[in-house]
Structure 1
Amino acid sequence: MRFHNRREAGRQLGLRLMERASEREFIRPVVLALPRGGVPVAAEVAQALGAPLDVLVARKIGLPGRPETGIGAVVGDDPPLFDQRALEMLGLTEDRLAPDVARERDELRRRTLLYRGHRSAPDVRDRTVIVVDDGLATGATARAALRHLRPLRPGRLILTVPVGAPETAAEMRSEADDVVCLRQPPDFRAVGLWYDDFDQVDDEEVVEALDARRASTRGT
């Protein structure tokens, strides 16, 4: 069963997370979206939980010639995180991919400044942190995001996506305290196949969603 669009997927995720919150305490939850596609989903999740919304910009490092296939990712100033097994199978080295890493890190900084301005990232220590994306394929960006957050000592780290590859969702359970993936079709293939409307999310939509949520959670 497909989702109509990211907003509808986010509403369904929000309902599932509200059920989880009723079973165990969510301590000062904060929702972190992986932009761009994760932002419309996360906006609905944040509204359902009455939680603040922010972004964690992670950039996928794609396979040369096939940029849609992630073989690594970079977050903040962290070293790039690569799928070492994939690099070995493909005969690639981190040095060979250094220009790609530099390009993605520049884009990461541009987006972070655009989306957050000069505001500091939220303090996640001892809080329930809910990381949201619109889907989970190779898991490269999600894994990098979770490993970036873990040393910041969140009270609980939850990865939430509407749809994902079953094997990747299973792998993510070693990275997060909980994984909420509504649909794990055995014939997954690609995230966009599971949405009727999977148009690209632009920067303006991201900024509008963040500003709207920020205005409704002053002081949270």
Structure 2
Amino acid sequence: MRFDDRRHAGQELAVRLLEWAAAGDLADVVVLALPRGGVPVAAEIARALGVPMDVLVVRKIGVPGTPEVGIGAIAGEDPPVFDRGALGTLGLDETDLASDVARERLELHRRDELYRGRRPAPRIHDRSVIVVDDGLATGITARAALRHLRRQEPGRLILAVPVCSPRIAAELREEADDLICLHQPSVLRSVGEWYADFEQVSDSEVLDTLRSMSSTV
């Protein structure tokens, strides 16, 4: 196992990002976690850098009958982002997934309201934005997040994850200005195999973490 838990993974990522900060490569930083798994990772990074943290709710669109396998994702009110190759392989098109998209959009709104309440979304324009997740299997949720944020014209858009495959890393380098992935195994069966403790993160843990950070973004 490479990481004890998500906090450990965040501490390891923070070491790399602290080097960038010391070199003056980061300015006006905000850390955005993809909930729920990215939240404990992101919290360690934000604490180490002494910068604000918030969440960006993104919802995966799963393969029909195998919902845990992501074939698309949504962020905000943006159109869905799909893995076009996978759609073709499965003989699907966007209309086949319209009801799934609608259902996940409702869940996205529910979670965004739960996590944020009346707190406004963070300012993105001209800032250094570090997007954090606990690992990437297909990379589709990270792709949707990065495209959503790119439309808001950040000064620098960074994706930081503990583990992903070399192929996913190469694909997402085209979406982000910088990408940090600590481990890129040639075969990635699951993100969880890279953690000794990979218990699901609860909504209450997300809320507790956001309250403990309690920084204005």
Deviation, 1:25, is: 2.6
Output the amino acid matched with 2:118: H
TM-score using structure 1 length: 0.96
- Aligned amino acid, residue 154 of structure 1: P
Conserved? CA contact 1:32–1:56, under 8 Å: yes
User: Runs in 1 of length 4+ with deviation above 6 angstroms?
Assistant: none
Question: Distance between the aligned counterparts of 2:43 and 2:154, measured in 1?
Answer: 20
Contact 1:27 1:126 in 2 (8 A): no
Q: Partners in 2 of 1:60 and 1:165 — Cα distance?
A: 19
Residue segments in structure 2 that go unaligned for 5+ positions in a row: none
Q: For the residues of structure 1 that align with 2:127 and 2:103, how far apart are their CA atoms? A: 32
Correspondence for 1:148: 148
d(CA) in 2 for partners of 1:147, 1:202: 26
Partner Cα distance (1:130, 1:87) in 2: 29
2: distance between equivalents of 1:94 and 1:188?
27
CA distance in 2 between partners of 1:129 and 1:80 (Å): 22
Aligned CA-pair RMSD: 1.0
CA contact (8 A) 1:165 1:189 kept: no
* Equivalent position amino acid for 2:65 in 1: G
Give the deviation of 1:137 after TM superposition. Answer: 1.1
Return 5+ residue gaps in structure 1 as ranges.
none
Residue type at the aligned position of 2:102: A
> Residue in 1 aligned with 2:123?
123
**Residue 58 of structure 1 contacts residue 145 of structure 1 at CA under 8 Å; is this kept in 2?**
yes
- Partners of 1:21 and 1:177 lie apart in 2 by 16
Give, in angstroms, the shift of residue 67 of structure 1. 1.1
Deviation at 1:204, TM superposition (A): 0.1
Shift of 1:156: 0.2
CA apart distance, 1:165? 1.2
Helix, strand or coil for the counterpart of 2:32?
strand
Q: Distance in 2 between matches of 1:92 and 1:181?
A: 31
* Corresponding residue number in structure 2 for 1:37: 37
What's 1:182 paired with?
A: 182
